[in-house]
Structure 1
Amino acid sequence: MQKHRIYTTSFASIYPHYVAKAERKGRTKAEVDRIIAWLTGYDHKGLERILNDKTDFETFFAKAPKLNPARALIKGVVCGVRVEEVEEPTMREIRYLDKLVDELARGKALDTILRTN
């Protein structure tokens, strides 16, 4: 089975789209970065390194410092796909991130997005 092309796409090429989506709705790059940190454990320096090195999505998630166990609480549909039903682990991680950025752009409170309340 051939891998989906998103796996070999650099995270740096998609990251600006996440930020732009959030900013179009009055949210900030800092909020996007906080979501990424919550989901993956990447701090500011780690995220900058990923972006500068043009790390692909598969490696971005495979080498994440600490995937948040609460990410399993992320439910819902993004791009017509129910995230909790995605079987392939890397694709599920990508969909989790897509869903969190989507929630941010839809105006949800950050505490709700990060499943802290």
Structure 2
Amino acid sequence: MSIAVWIVSGLLALAYLAAGGMKLVRSKAELRPTMAWVEGFSPAAIKVIAALEVLGGIGLILPPLTGVAPWLAVVAAFGLVAVQIGAIAVHIRYRDPAAKLVPNFVLLLLALFVAVGLLL
């Protein structure tokens, strides 16, 4: 794995562990002021999204680091691409301003970079 892929993987892992972890420990009511999209989702769905983000973040780093099933990092990266596609769709559905879409597009592109970088 190249240095660039390791760096981007590490940064993505930190971002997803932080974002997913926050969604896991906070209630829907606590998330609502900063994440208006939670209004359209059940608490269980929010926790599933959070768990996917945390597992994706762990999956980017742990398998390649340990050498155990390193192919799981590719699966995690493509899974995070799917999470971001879903996030973009939700922001579009809520007619959020473009400024709220930019971080999702950046995360999508970075996850795609890692997925392709791991395959090469």
TM-score of the superposition, structure 1-length normalised? 0.35
* Larger Rg, first or second structure (1 or 2): 2
Q: Which has the higher helix share?
A: 2
TM-score of the superposition, structure 2-length normalised? 0.34
